[in-house]
Structure 1
Amino acid sequence: MDLELRGKTAIITGASIGIGAAVAAGLAAEGCNLLLVARKVERLEAEAKRIEGEYGTKVSIVCADVGTPAGTDAIIAQAESLGGVDILINNAGAGSNETIMEAPDEKWQMYWDLHVMAAVRLARGIVPMMKKRGGGVVLHNASICAAQPLWYEPIYNVTKAALMMFSKTLATEVVRDNIRVNCINPGLILTPDWIKTAKELTADKGGDWQAYLQSVADEHAPIGRFATPEELANFFVFLCSDKASYSVGSAYFVDGGMLKTL
């Protein structure tokens, strides 16, 4: 199926590894040019080189912390230098680990800036470019935790829920400009962070990190496994295309049946 994305330009934040890298590759495979954003320049440069070599698309990079105004300003400036963009994927994020009683204000603020204000600031800068180009797509990578929280990361739960609501309200504001905004809430995705955590937790118990991850999947996902980043990326790429032209302001759970409510 031709998704008719060839020649479009997409921004992906958190693009050097995991879900962001998979989404970038998926869009490049459809002929999109890319503006990749991440904090670690070496990893970012390597990913850009790999995608250019494999798919032949144009890839620009911005090494920036999207959780800061300076970081989002740098992304917006680079997008302007490219003549604007058609797709914005707010993917950058990180899990937390705390209790409400012990987490300081500074940690709440850091995650608020990373998960919510980054999306707000980029919308303010990128949406006007999309209007000039006749429309566009904005996707937010939130989490199943936005609706079904995990007890050990309340800050992550709260800020991802806020991101989901921001996505909904932005969708209402810009839909008449032919800009479609949606939110994707993944369940268990086998990212490098999950593997790192599993290895750390099993280091003094024999090191069987694969068995640990399987136990997590057995507990939470009726499908009985983690998804690959590429499986999730396929959904992102579809929502970027006009094949999803009537998808506006929705939150999609890609979770192997993990969500327990309707």
Structure 2
Amino acid sequence: MDLKLKGKVAVLTGASVGIGLAVAHAFAAEGVNLVLAARQADRLDEAARQIATQHGVEVVPAACDVATAAGVDALVGAAEHAFGGADILFNNAGTGSNETILDAPDDKWQAYWDLHVMAAVRLARGLVPGMKRRGGGAILHNASICAVQPLGYEPIYNVTKAALMMFSKNLANELIGANIRVNTINPGLILTPDWIKTAKQLTEHTGGDWEGHLNAVAHEHAPIGRFASPEELADFIVFLCSERASYSVGATYFVDGGMLKTV
């Protein structure tokens, strides 16, 4: 299927590893030029080099922290300087948390709010004017199944991802008149390096069977009985950002192997 994406420009956050890196490769395979954001410059530069070499597209690395206004300004500036703006924005930067509501300090709540919500707000303000000049575009927010089905050990993550989902709905209503489609994706269990790192830590003193640990997690939570690869999720993300999904507006899509327990 021709997704009609060749020559488009996509801005991706959290793009040097895991889901973001897989999505970058998937977009590049469709001929999309990229502006990639992450905090670790060395890892980001290497990812950009590999993608450009493998797929023959232009890839601009922009090392920045999108949880800050200055970081967002730097990313928007990089897109404007290199390509005169962008057609696609994939808001992916984020991380899990671990706390209780009664013990978590204010600054931890604020840090996750800035990363999961304000980054998306600021990037919309920065990139949407350029999308309008280019005739429209697509914005996709990576929230989580935890936005509607929370895990008990990470209330801050749950709350801020739920807020991101509601922001996405409001932004969709505001921008569709400018031919800019906004949607949300709520992944379930995706086998990212963070999951593997955590599993190795948890099994370090009990035999080191981290794969068995992850298998148990998958069978406990997902009827499909396994984690998804980042590439499986990336395929769906690229489709949602293409003209083939032209009637998808303000929606939330669960890619979770059946993990969601409600209809």
Q: Structure 2 length normalisation: TM-score? A: 0.99
Q: Deviations over 1:84-105 (max 9, x none)?
A: 1000000000000000010000
How far apart, CA to CA, are the structure 2 residues paired with 1:170 and 1:128? 14
| CA distance in 1: counterparts of 2:231 and 2:184, whole angstroms | 17
Partner of 2:134: 133
Matching of residue 14 in structure 1 with residue 7 in structure 2: no
d(CA) in 1 for partners of 2:95, 2:66: 12
Q: Work out the CA distance in 2 between the residues paired with 1:15 and 1:7.
A: 19
Question: Residues 67-146 of structure 1: matches in 2 within 5 Å?
Answer: 67-81=67-81, 82-146=83-147
1:158-169 to 2 correspondences below 5 Å:
158-169=159-170
Q: Would you say 1:240 and 2:241 are equivalent positions? A: yes
Task: State the Cα RMSD in Å.
Answer: 0.4
Q: Determine the C-alpha separation between the residues in 2 that align with 1:126 and 1:10.
A: 11
Q: How many residues align?
A: 262
Structure 1 residue runs of 4 or more that deviate by more than 4 Å after TM superposition: none
Deviation at 1:9, TM superposition (A): 0.3
Cross-structure match for 1:45? 45
1: CA distance between counterparts of 2:122 and 2:52? 28
Matched, 1:33 2:33: yes
Q: For 1:14-35, what per-residue CA distance to the aligned partner results, in whole angstroms no more than 9, with x for missing partners?
A: 0000000000000000000000
Provide the secondary structure at the position in 2 that maps to 1:204: coil
Give the CA deviation at 1:78. Answer: 1.0
Deviation larger for 148-157 or 71-80: 71-80
Q: CA deviation at 1:60?
A: 0.3
Secondary structure of 1:103's counterpart equals coil
Q: Report the secondary structure of 1:181's partner residue.
A: strand
The aligned counterpart of 2:216 is: 215
Structure 2 SS opposite 1:215: helix
Shift of 1:79: 1.4
Superposed CA deviations along residues 127-150 of structure 1, whole A, max 9, x for unmatched, are 110000000000000000000000
What 5-or-longer segments of structure 1 have no aligned partner? none
Separation (CA, whole Å) in 2 of partners of 1:71 and 1:168: 24
Query: Alpha-carbon deviations, 1:227-260, whole Å to 9, x = none?
Result: 0000000010000111000000000000000000
Structure 2 residues without counterparts, runs of 5 or longer: none
Amino acid at match of 1:135: G
- Opposite residue 16 of structure 2, the aligned amino acid is S
Q: State the Cα distance separating 1:191 from its structure 2 match.
A: 0.1
Structure-1 separation of matches of 2:78 and 2:218: 40
Aligned equivalents of 1:78, 1:62: Cα separation in 2: 7
Aligned to 2:155: 154
Q: Per-residue CA shift, 1:189-225, capped at 9, x if unaligned?
A: 0000000000000000000000000000000000000
Corresponding residue of 2:59:
59
Instruction: Give TM-score, length-normalised by structure 1.
Output: 1.00
Distance in 1 (CA, whole Å) between partners of 2:151 and 2:68 is 26
Q: Give the letter for the 1:76 counterpart.
A: V
- Partner Cα separation in structure 2 for residue 162 and residue 79 of structure 1: 26
> For residue 252 of structure 1, what is the amino acid of its counterpart?
Y
CA distance in 2, matches of 1:171, 1:164: 11
Deviation, structure 1 residue 80: 1.4
